[in-house]
Amino acid sequence: MCDGKGFTIWLTGPSGAGKSYLAEGLKGRFSDMGLPIEVFDGDTVRKQLYPDIGFSKEAREMHNRVVINHARLLTKHGVPNVVSLISPYRAVRDFAREEIGEFMEVYLETTQEVRIKRDPKGLYAKAIKGEITNLTGYDGVYEEPLKPDLVLRTHEMTLEQEVDAIISKVKQLGLME
């Protein structure tokens, strides 16, 4: 298993890519393996800590840095964790890798068409109507990772296949046995 070794699995991708769904799938699988794991969902952290922060570049970077710090502390103290966060800027994700150390970046790649069909929060519908702007994955910035540890084309895979691929990669990287 893990033998008290902490690590962070960082799930990144535009809105609707399947990050939260995959994070819950990972949590279930790790639990079945007897490995407790913490999940940081970007929306949940935002709602609990600072619901009025907004979505400017600066606000997003600050939000990401708070999550990075939490994930770093858990990793340092031997607690595996999954971060489910759009994290649209490469520099912030690179900073996360540097700060956390035991880190795996997973890019959830999906077509915009699929994300619009999924639209779990109704955000794409609002963006299409012009009710919101700068939606990451529609008309907002998302800098795709240049060298993620793993790319998952979530619209071509089952949840089980995604989870299996991540666990295999975690083991390959030596983050757990």
Q: Where in the sequence numbering do the catalytic residues fall? A: 87
* Residues 120 and 76: beta-carbon distance below 8 Å: no
Enumerate residues 6+ apart whose C-beta is below 8 A from 28.
none
Q: Which residue has the tokens 């540890």?
A: 149
Query: 44: left (phi > 0), else alpha (psi -120 to 50), else beta?
Result: alpha
Half-sphere exposure of residue 173: CA atoms within 13 angstroms, side-chain side: 20
- Taking the C-alpha atoms of residue 88 and residue 136, their distance in angstroms, rounded to an integer, is 7
